[in-house]
Amino acid sequence: MKPLKIGIICLLSTAIAQADITQDANHLIDQIDPHLNIGVEIKDLTTHQYLYKRHAQNSFIPASNMKLFSTAAALLALGPDYHFTNKLTTDATNWDKHELKGHLYVHLSGDPSFSSARLAAMINSLKQQSIQSIQGDVVLVSRYQNISPYAPGGMTEDLPFGYGAPIAPLVLDHNRFMLTVNPNDTAGKPAILETSHQTQQHMLINKVITKKDAKNCHIHFTIDATQALVLNGCIGLTEHALVQELAVRTPLLYTQKVLKHLLQEAGIALKGHIILGQAPHQTLLLSQDKSPSIAQLIAKTLKHSDNLYADSLFLHTADKLSGRPLNWEKAQQVIKPFLHVQTGIDLNSAIFSDGSGLSRYDLLTPDQTVQLLTFLYQRFPIAYEYIAALPVSGRDGTLQKRLKKPTQLGLIRAKTGTMKGITSLSGYLFTANAHIVAFAIYMNNTPQTKPAVSGRYRYLADALCAKILQVSKTPHGVSKPLLSFQASSTGQKVQKKAMKWRALEKALRVALKTQAVSILFRADELVLQDRQHDKQQVLNVLTKLAETYPFAIAVTTDKPQRINGQSAVVWAKTTKISQPIQRLWYLKPQASI
């Protein structure tokens, strides 16, 4: 009778836990709006019991929760150890006197991680093969050259930004770049722009003005008829620099410029042109490059919600399953049946317009999502790679700043999703009774929803997760103490350092606002363009700030300096300073031991 009693107690305790979650979840939702367009499903993977359902069969726009399905398809079809392969080949039969007598073909597989540095390594390998010139053309052969650059259902307002970067006709350096808008040193002057890719500088039209007062100052990004990015607005004299990731609007032109520069750097003369085209059926392999593994690419996709990575995995998986590159709609017709066969999930109502969730045409149900999470949790060959790729509450990725209380930190691995009027959160939780729970939460705006309500969607998703974490009413469940490392968050420490660096930038702008000094903010340094003859004016400010903010200093001046007789100023001679700049000061974070 003893096993029977235990079984009855377990069933009763599960029912009690389910009743508690139902009551608490309904109360939280009704507080926001009893008519809220929300779908929720919560399943205990330890007991296989559903703890809560609300509109779980309804279809919702999932936003970035679509990435759960596109990355799952890539893992299932390609395996965690698969690599994208990029190649250099030629149709030349010889290279007499160091000249390649034919065309050079650059085969681009659609690898979302392919970078200028990796392309440079491939080009430099030609030099090692004694190739000093190319008689023909350099032909870019891309798997995406006949694919639409954007999936159907995207928004025009997303196009200027890095998260909306085009995927075609090819991908290099993620098809995006960083732009920093710095206030000038005097009100009325144009803001100072810096880009991570110099090739993008000519595509920018700067109409941002520095103002003494930052009140009502905003910067707007638009695209004109020539595909140039136009910046309008103003920035305050003492305000932080604006750092924005933007899309490379013309990936082919960008790649052509990068490749031309790399050939020049390698000392390889090109007699032809750099064009987009096809390669003959048989060519000679000269160099090969491999991407990080699919497991690593999926971690980048999910933790940082990278749209370009997700769309690339989506299209590449369809390509490999069908044997040829497919456009978005054809890719959906391959991916959906494949996932159904692999997982058994009924996806008839689902719409996979893309792999990223940026399309407003995408549709998923909470039930389909929890079924996928359940399936992957139970599949040992890929479960660990998949779950480890998800953002961790309070620690990394898009959950670094969310659910970071001691009772939440590190106990949730979930995919976030956010678009205007849309919030989603789906993944796994480790509850107080040591159970693993799979959950999916989708909220979509309706025309009559007030902005004040939709603005609280994320709070509601986090509050629901906090309630699930507290489940503890099972007799065989034991509340487990936190592991040692869970007492602190590395991600939060990094965030605090970044905030302190920003605080130093602000303090510098305020302290130097009356001096002829322009301050350029960069991720790992602050550069001061000093146009004053007397270096002591800036040095006095740095001496004062060094008492609060620890930083190292390098300067291009005539002799080394010391701050407070302790911190040495590293001196470097340079001929690259253009008048009227007298010297450049470089401030860097102090290295900790």
- For 199-254, how does the pLDDT look when each residue is reduced to its tens digit (9 = 90+)? 666 678 999 999 999 899 999 998 888 878 899 999 999 999 999 999 998 999 99
Q: Name the least confident of 22-26, 202-206, 576-580.
A: 576-580
In this prediction, residue 94 carries a pLDDT of 80
Per-residue pLDDT averaged across 490-516, rounded?
A: 85
Mean pLDDT of 537-546: 91
Q: Does domain 492-589 have CATH number 3.40.190?
A: no
Q: pLDDT category, 330, cuts 50, 70, 90?
A: very high
pLDDT band at 473; cut points 50, 70, 90 = very low
Q: Each residue of 430-442: pLDDT tens digit? A: 998 899 999 999 9
Q: How do residues 111-160 score in pLDDT, each as one tens digit?
A: 999 999 999 999 999 999 999 999 999 999 999 999 999 999 999 999 99
Mean pLDDT along residues 463-467: 95
Contact partners, residue 414, CB within 8 Å, separation at least 6: 390, 391, 393, 399, 425, 426, 427, 428, 429, 439, 465
14 has pLDDT over 80: no
Model confidence pLDDT, tens digit, residues 360-376 = 999 999 999 999 999 99
> Architecture of 2-80+294-488 per CATH?
3-Layer(aba) Sandwich (3.40)
Give pLDDT, residue 488: 57
> Strands, DSSP E only, in 458-566?
517-522, 525-530, 551-555, 561-563
pLDDT tier for residue 569 given thresholds of 50, 70 and 90: confident
Rounded to whole angstroms, the Cα distance separating 91 from 100 reads 9
pLDDT over threshold 80, residue 562: no
Contact 84, 289 (CB under 8 A): no
Long-range contact list for 404-411, CB < 8 A, 24+ apart? 404/489, 404/492, 405/466, 406/482, 406/486, 406/487, 407/466, 407/469, 407/470, 408/465, 408/466, 408/469, 409/482, 409/486, 409/489, 410/486, 410/489, 411/469
Mean pLDDT of 500-515: 94
pLDDT band at 481; cut points 50, 70, 90: low
Task: For CA atoms 7, 13, 17, 23, give the dihedral sign.
Answer: positive
pLDDT band at 3 (very low <50, low <70, confident <90, very high): low
- Inform me whether the pLDDT recorded for 11 exceeds 60: no
What residue spans in the chain does CATH classification 3.40.710.10 cover? 2-80+294-488
Asked whether the predicted pLDDT for residue 10 surpasses 70, the reply is no
Comparing C-alpha atoms, which of 159, 157, 178, 187 is closest to residue 242?
178
pLDDT given for residue 227 in this prediction: 78
- pLDDT for 566 beyond 50: no
pLDDT > 70: percent of the chain: 89
Residues 35 and 222: their CA atoms lie apart, in Å, by 37
Q: Range(s) for CATH 3.90.1150 in the chain?
A: 492-589
Burial class (CB in 10 A: 0-12, 13-18, 19+), 534: exposed
- Domain boundaries 84-291, corresponding CATH code: 3.50.80.20
Q: Look at residue 9 and tell me whether its pLDDT is greater than 50.
A: no
At residue 2, does pLDDT exceed 60? no
The yes-or-no verdict on residue 565 having pLDDT over 70 is no
Cβ partners under 8 Å of residue 1, min gap 6: none
Residue ranges matching CATH 3.50.80.20 in the chain = 84-291
Looking at per-residue confidence, does 432 or 512 come out higher? 512
